[in-house]
Amino acid sequence: MRVAKRISDEFKRKIEERKETFKSGARIVVVETIDDPTPLPKGLEGTVRFVDDIGSIHPIWDNGSTLAALLEDKIKLI
């Protein structure tokens, strides 16, 4: 159970960090996405709407898409 609690605590910390970093209205860019059937293209920019409780960033991408960026995806502020 200690390992599960440690992982859970680390996961919660990462989500809270992401919520603090990617505030509504912030501009972001895709650095890298996980291997996904519909990956976000590298270099795509967008505006953050919100970060949900599992750490996914929900933006409006400049190409019109509203596909969320997962916790595993590498996204940075611009």
Under 8 Å between Cβ of 50 and 24: yes
Domain boundaries of the chain, sorted by first residue: 2-77
19 or 11, greater pLDDT? 19
Say what the pLDDT of residue 36 is: 73
What's the token pair of residue 28?
A: 């972001």
Q: How far apart are CA 25 and CA 23, in angstroms?
A: 6
Q: Which pTM was predicted?
A: 0.86
Cβ burial 8-24 (10 Å sphere, 16+ → b, else e)? eeeeeeebeebeeebee
State yes or no: pLDDT of 11 exceeds 70. yes
CATH topology assigned to domain 2-77: SH3 type barrels. (2.30.30)
Q: Note whether 22 and 74 are within 8 A (CB).
A: no
**pLDDT tens digits, 13-70:** 999 999 999 999 999 999 999 877 878 899 999 999 999 999 999 999 999 999 999 9
**Looking at residue 38, what is its pLDDT?**
77
